[in-house]
Structure 1
């Protein structure tokens, strides 16, 4: 089996372009977070019914909120980003990044389940809308805030640790995201 860093694009993303790739990835992640937070503000602060609370992009494009393809696509982009950028992390930062990835694998599975229900037209537990497994116990808005938080928190910890590695981690890092120690 070929090592992931043997692929030229992956090698570039995790060496020369790691910092830029992480910054672009984080812009996407934060924009998605902003959508979920806007929806939460619409529901809990502005008192909008959940069916009308569509975040920022959902106001001009209401179909986005109801598109399982869009939600699945984001979950897939998140998982692929976490996989592609993982080789650039070492030590404790890699442990935290891997934790985010593992949680995102589950989150992706839940979105795949939602997409399959939408495509097939049959929902879990005869619910009127596609329903994820944990959504059987938790409302969808709160569940997705939770999912995004538990993926985002270890990502942030990984980024902080990646920017302040130990001497051994700095020596082992394939990228130069962390400032050189003098």
Structure 2
């Protein structure tokens, strides 16, 4: 095997390991990332609706010491990309009903990623959608950004959790991992 052909084999081998012997660990790490993101959005919602903070001041947990994080479209886009890549990389480990639910969440994340890409392009170009004063996503034309992101996170998380529960509660012969709770 030449040096130029070794990398694709290592990548395929890594993805295969991630979806077999490392699938449970990969899913747990991914879930921690998702829950940390939820914590940020829920903290921001509490700051706005329970504590009465103005939206620009409600920056979640990390946004308090690092306010530039909340206004950075790069950070938001980066998270959307990490999520998309995670859903794609972990997808081969699912089969049957759990794969259907994983595909649903992947589809929602594809749209969510597109919206963040649109926001990033606007931030970089200075040309904003519909003549708005700030970068604006398509659905943000209909719903405020804070509420929209809570909704998007719910749309991504709910089928993801269903997929993970179904995946771990079934004795699926097609599963190549050790995620399933077996009797």
Aligned residue number for residue 110 of structure 2:
105
Aligned residue number for residue 147 of structure 1:
152
**What aligned pairs does 1:23-62 form with structure 2 within 5 A after superposition?**
23-62=28-67
Pairwise CA RMSD of aligned residues? 1.4
Aligned residue number for residue 180 of structure 1:
182
Partner Cα distance (1:159, 1:97) in 2: 8
Aligned residue number for residue 162 of structure 2:
157
What SS is found at the alignment partner of 1:172? Answer: coil
Structure 2 residue 87 is the aligned partner of structure 1 residue 87: no
Partner Cα distance (1:180, 1:35) in 2: 35
Structure 1: 4+ residue segments shifted above 2 A: none
Q: Deviations over 1:122-168 (max 9, x none)?
A: 10011111000000010000000000000000000001100111x4x
TM-score under structure 1 normalisation? 0.94
Partner Cα distance (2:127, 2:39) in 1: 31
Aligned residue number for residue 128 of structure 2:
123
Aligned residue number for residue 173 of structure 2:
171
Gaps of 5+ in 2: 1-10
Q: 1:180, CA displacement in angstroms?
A: 2.6
TM-score under structure 2 normalisation? 0.93
